[in-house]
Amino acid sequence: MSENILAILPELWTATGQTFLMLGIGLSAAIVIGGPLGVLLFLLGPSQSLENKPAFVTLNWLVNTVRSFPFIILLVALV
């Protein structure tokens, strides 16, 4: 059994590196896009310094729509 593991070890290290690369790219994108978007959404909300109801409603709808995509993909995959 250990011979089998040793045979696939190089592929395992490559796959692990690729996984961490994808994780880093996704996390970086979430921080760069999601952080400012969340702060903007907060500041546009009611009783805040940049209160703007039409912009808040539009941005809130967009965020809630995009947030539901993973569940929709999971639902399709399960059916």
> Are the C-beta atoms of residues 63 and 41 closer than 8 Å to each other?
yes
What is the value of pTM for the model shown?
0.73
> Are the C-beta atoms of residues 44 and 58 closer than 8 Å to each other?
no
Average pLDDT over residues 16-42: 97
* Total domains present in the chain: 1
- Whether 55 shows a pLDDT value over 90: the answer reads yes
Domain ranges, residue 44: 2-78
What dihedral angle (degrees, nearest 10) is formed by the CA atoms of 34, 38, 41, 45?
170
Average pLDDT over residues 49-71: 95
Across all residues in the chain, what is the average pLDDT?
A: 94
> Are the C-beta atoms of residues 59 and 41 closer than 8 Å to each other?
yes
Among 24, 48, 1, CA closest to 38: 48
